[in-house]
Homo-oligomer: A and B are copies of this chain.
Amino acid sequence: MLFEIERKFLVAHDGWRAAAVGGRLLRDGLVGPYHTSKVRVRLDGERAWLTVKGPRKGLGRLEFEYEIPSDDADEMLRSVCQGEQVEKIRHNVFHDGLKWEVDVYQGSLSGIVLAEVELQREDQPFSKPDWVGQEVSGDPRFKKAAMLKLRRQVGRPLTISGILSASP
């Protein structure tokens, strides 16, 4: 169990690419979203995780993560997970002692790039790389389910400005 504090940002420009390491394809599915919690299956190459995320408290939430056999994850993604699955290429960028994760969405969410940093405390100071743009932590428009819904509504690939002009 850990208390996870993540802050999420738009990406202002491609400057992160020069410093990016460890690009890998993640395939995520939700066993299902509950009112305030969710259970996610993540397939990351040969490894896989089952994660229970509790209700949000401020910028944080309780998270319980367990590594599981990748065959199990594959089967759950095919036969248990509901709703659309999301693929993204995740790049790590290390900056000033912190690891940033830049997610380049694929498939139906292609066009979307978001950056996240994980902190120990809500008030922890940190320096933003110059390619990090506007903060969207807690902005409901940038939740995966909301982006997938908007994508179905507009019927064409999303853009960040398209998401920002959607009603929050």
Give chain A's interface residue range (CB within 8 Å of chain B).
Answer: 20 to 34
A13: Cβ under 8 A from any B Cβ: no
- By the criterion CB–CB under 8 Å, are B35 and A64 in contact? no
- By the criterion CB–CB under 8 Å, are B52 and A79 in contact? no
Specify the chain B residue showing the minimal Cβ separation from A69.
B1
Q: A76 to chain B: which residues have CB within 8 Å?
A: 52, 54, 64
- By the criterion CB–CB under 8 Å, are A80 and B52 in contact? yes
- By the criterion CB–CB under 8 Å, are A55 and B34 in contact? no
Chain A residues within 8 Å of B, Cβ to Cβ = 1, 31-32, 34-37, 39, 50, 52, 54-55, 62, 64, 66, 68-69, 71-72, 75-76, 79-80, 82
